[in-house]
Amino acid sequence: MRRKTNYRESGKIEMDYFDQMWSRLATLGKLVGKAPNQYLGHTAIMKLTYFLQVLKKVPLGYDFRFYYYGPYDSDVLGDLNYAECLGVVNSEVEYYPKGGYGYRVSRGKAADEIDEKAKDFLKKYEDDINWVIQKFGNRNASQLELVSSIIGMSLDRRKDGNPFSLDSIVKKVKKIKPHFEIQQIKEEAQSLLDAKIILSK
């Protein structure tokens, strides 16, 4: 009797715990491997995973909540931690010349092996992973923080059934992200709208 998890895709397919874990780890490995510089920071990984789930409906089973630093599920970092233990990814701290630090996560030598375990999942969602990388892979953490907040705000608005208003989304984002300029938020929101990544209806 294998342990069944809460993971359901369209209410039809039930995967067991390990299937879900391989899918998640393989997705993380793919994201960092396909990134323009072959590595990503933690913010980028969190946000790209969020985009995969909310924009492309890739069933990763994460439960994103909002913190002041944007959409977040600690399971993503937990999986990243385990991915590192298994050698799916490598991670190193990077200190910036002007102060501060970040993490540089790259594809590890065991990643191919995990890809093999999750090959059906990857085959099904590879286009979505490519789309997310193509649209957002070259954005820096600050831009991704802003984009994910606008997308999250827009999705919440649709869920609540409130009419679309770019201004109200901009105002709400500004409130939780005071370090962004209004103009910058407005331009980003407009470009997401133009690209039909957020919808006005």
Shortest approach of other proteins to residue 133 CB, angstroms? 17
Contact flag: residue 163 with other proteins (CB under 8 A): no
Alpha helices in the chain (DSSP H): 17-34, 42-55, 74-86, 111-117, 119-136, 141-160, 166-176, 182-194
By residue count, the chain amounts to: 201
Residue whose C-alpha is closest to residue 15's, from 2, 28, 26: 2
CA distance 82 to 47: 19
Contact flag: residue 8 with other proteins (CB under 8 A): yes
SS3 label, residue 21: helix
Residues 38-97 that bind other proteins (CB under 8 A): 41-43, 46, 50, 52-69, 71-72, 74-75, 77-78, 80-82, 85-86, 91, 93, 96
Q: Which residues bind other proteins (CB under 8 A)?
A: 1-3, 6-9, 11, 17-18, 21, 41-43, 46, 50, 52-69, 71-72, 74-75, 77-78, 80-82, 85-86, 91, 93, 96, 98-103, 110, 113, 140-142, 145, 149, 152-153, 155-156, 172, 175-176, 178-179
